[in-house]
Structure formats: C-alpha cells, structure tokens
Structure 1
Amino acid sequence: MTFGARMRGWFQRTGSEALGWTLVALGIVMLVMPGPGLLGMFAGIALLARHYTWADRLVEPLEEKAIEAAKYGVATIPRIIVSILGIVWVAGVGLVWFLSPTIPEFEILGVGFGPELPAAGLVGAIGIWISDLIAIVLLVYSIRRWR
C-alpha cells in the first residue's frame, strides 16, 4: 500500500471526522466573532454526515433550503444588485474593523464594550473579508448556475 493510499484511507476515516468537529467548533466561535460561522458549522456537519446519521439527517434539509435561497436570490436583477451592495457593505465593515476606531463605552446585559471594537484589528478584518469573499464566490456561482 502506498503512502498516498494510506493517507486517503486515514482521512476518509479519522481525518474527516476530526476536521468536521474542528469546523463545527470554529463555526460556533465565529458566530460571535467576525467570520463565516454558519458556513463553517455547515461544512463541519457535512463532513460529520459521513460518520453520523444525526448529521446526515441535518444536511439534506439544510442543503435544500440553501439551494432554494440561492435560486431566489438571483431570480431578478434587483436582487442581484442588492446582494452586490451587501457585499460592498461588508467589505466596508471589514475596513472599519481593520482601522479600529474608538467607540463610546457601553454595556449590554452586564458585558462592557469600548473603547475598542471587539476583535478589532487585522484578525477581525480578515474574518470579515473571508466572509465577504465567500459571499462573492457563492453569488457568482449562483448566477452562473441558476441565471
């Protein structure tokens, strides 16, 4: 058995499960931090679906809803324009996070914020820009596939 075949076998069994759980955990973190949290969680659950029936039962309806939403989002030119404007807006938010302006101090449910944005700086901006890049790729894919 060659090294490549052994590595493929390992990934199909152990690696995909480990990566799936890692993506689910990172997705949960990215729900509250800048980043594509829901997408990370979905990718993790999709990998776990190869090993667990509970994950397999979750993937199919999520995939159907995602395809339905993608078709709806590119059905008309105004919807595509709104999507593009949203992508530009998110890129601007990433720029604000990168520049890290001071904000007024405030408190929500006993948790204090300010004078800096949460996760401000390059790391937060990169998370936001990765989300934006994913949105661009998915929009282009949806337009090519369903328009």
Structure 2
Amino acid sequence: MTAESDEREVAVGNDEGEPEGEGSGRPLGSRAPHFIRRSRALHLSWQVVVFLVGLAVVALGVVLLPLPGPGWVVIFAGMAIWATEFVWAQLVLRWTRRKVTEAAQRALDPAVRRRNIILTTVGLVIIGVLAAVYLERYGFVMPWNAN
C-alpha cells in the first residue's frame, strides 16, 4: 500500500468503500483488523464468531430482564458487540443513543422535573395511606411470629 491509498482509506472510512454514517464521525461497516478483512473466508468466520458472541450476550440480557440485574445494559453491550461488525447494529445503536440523549435533555427540563417530583410525591402519599389502612385493619406481625 502507498501513502496515497492510506489517505484514501482514512477519507472514505474503510477499504471496502462503504458509506459513512450521517453525522456520526465514525464510518459504518466492519471494524475487523485489515488482515481479517483481506481474506473473504477469514472475514466471514470472524463475522460468525462476532454474531454468536453478540447473540450470547443479548440472550443473557434478555434472561436478566425479569431477574434482578442489569438486563438492558447487557442487551446494549451485545448490540455494541454486533456493531463492531454489522451496519444494521451500528444504525440501531446510533438511533438508541440519539433517543436516550433526547430523553435525558427532556428530563432536565424544569417543568418535567417538577411534574416528576409531584407525581412521585403523590404516589408515595398514596402508598403511605394504603400501608396505614392495612396496618390499622390487620396490624403488624413479624414474619417469624406469623402462624
């Protein structure tokens, strides 16, 4: 490779000529090492391994959803693994990142924060009243004294 072709790879994003993503700064496509992308069979087996590892991580995240644990974080980690190799996963992660950023900005809005504080307070008052009614009616019995 010459210096001129190296400059072209940097400008285009990758040596396969895949288009760059909109407004992201990072090119779309495989992030596999060059020596792997050079061989079709090696690149295909690389993609299969990346897919299977990502699938295992996403499946673990799905299992963790109803259990105590960081289910969504693990799912997004699996998506990030897929995004190292597949354009569709890169696009999904970019869309998700944009939506999370927008939601965070909305949550910082003073009117939204005030509404959330009011709703939380009302919910806590309702739970407190229900707990007081229950305790008044049935009393409080320690679990080891219950028969």
- With structure 2 as the length reference, what TM-score do the two structures score? 0.39
Q: Report which of the two structures shows the higher radius of gyration computed on alpha carbons.
A: 2
**Greater RCO, CA 8 A, separation 6+:** 1
TM-score of the superposition, structure 1-length normalised? 0.39
The structure whose residues are more often strand, as a share, is: 1
